[in-house]
Structure 1
Amino acid sequence: MTEKTGTFVVTHAEAESAVVRDAETAQVHTLASNPGLEVHDVLEATVAPEPPLEVTWEVIEIEDRRTIELVDSDLEPTTYEKELAAEAELGDLVQEERAGTGELHVFSVPDGEVEAAAQDVLDDEETIARAARLEAVRVEVRRSAEDGVLSVRYLPD
């Protein structure tokens, strides 16, 4: 039995089973049971394959558990975020570390595509995985269609 310890994001959860994704490697593990997990939970945990076939996994130990909150904000990006986007090429990502922990991602988005881009970020599994890696508990998506700016804020507790 090969145990694996790491940061896992719950991508699917039912009463009897769950699916977790390793936040670092993107490897997916189907759990044979669900120890009370919900979609968007982030676990610092150890998992291991269940014998004899080792096609499903079980959670051996959970060291920490938190939930990532996805917020589709009605607020506009800040003046600073708009300035960052103005300096970027269309479609480019600008990443800024926040004071303390967390990160700020700003995109300059083509006209008419801001809403679709915001929805893509909110629907993307990688958004939650990135939040897990950054130790964020809240992801806030802000947009300004008028300015063609999308900001994604990975925020700590």
Structure 2
Amino acid sequence: MTEKTGTFLVTHADEGSAVLRDVSDGQVHTMASNPDVEERDVLEATIRPQPPMEVAWEVVEVEERRAVELVDTDLSPTTQAMEIAAEQAVGEVERVDRAGDGEIHVLSVPPERTADAAADVLDDTGTLERAARLGAVRVEVRADDDEGVVNVRYLPD
């Protein structure tokens, strides 16, 4: 095997090892040691398998290391999000490019499930993987319990 360069989410870290998931293809790489990372870190890095068996990996170089802040905000969904939600059925998700960088997701849910849906988004590893792919450093979740709208904003800064 050869070196692999990409964006990785640290899904597990302890003092002796770490597990990195490539956010472009979902492939999981177990590190032979912990390269000074913590769970939920995002790395732009190059890794390579360690000989002789090449089942564990090592970090060759880290170009960038960042954390993704997950924020459950008390703010209401944006006007744009509310307009999108008004046009979609319960259970649908609309993804929209954000002006500038980032992405906005609008989820329509039953009003009584709004808080649970917002909590699920914050607890989902997929949210962190998407943020890593998009280059986001902050994920902001806004909800409107009366309308059943969850607005997820992937923000670059």
> What TM bracket, shorter-length normalisation?
over 0.9
How far did 1:35 drift?
A: 1.7
Match of 2:2 in 1: 2
| TM-score, scaled relative to structure 1 | 0.95
Deviation at 1:79, TM superposition (A): 2.4
Counterpart in the other structure of 1:48: 48
Secondary structure of 1:127's match?
A: helix
Q: Give distance in 2, aligned partners of 1:126 and 1:61.
A: 25
User: What is the deviation of 1:108?
Assistant: 0.7
- C-alpha separation between the residues in 1 aligned to 2:50 and 2:119? 37
Equivalent position of 1:75 in the other structure: 75
The equivalent of 2:122 in structure 1 is 122
- Per-residue deviation, 1:30: 0.9
TM-superposed deviation, 1:111: 2.8
Post-superposition offset of 1:17: 1.0
Structure 2 counterpart of 1:33? 33
Structure 1 residues without counterparts, runs of 5 or longer: none
1:20 equivalent to 2:16? Answer no
Q: Distance in 2 between matches of 1:61 and 1:76?
A: 41
Q: Secondary structure at the match of 1:140?
A: strand
Q: What residue identity is the alignment partner of 2:155?
A: L
Contact preservation (8 Å) 2:111, 2:149? no
Residue deviations 1:76-132, cap 9 Å, x none? 212221111111111111111111100110011013111221121111111111111
The one-letter amino acid paired with 1:90 is V
Calculate the aligned-residue CA RMSD, in Å: 1.1
Equivalent residues in 2 for 1:62-141 (5 A)?
Answer: 62-141=62-141
**Take 1:103 and 1:134, find their aligned partners in 2: how far apart are those partners?**
8
Unaligned runs of 5+ in 2: none
Q: Letter of the 1:15 partner, please give it.
A: E
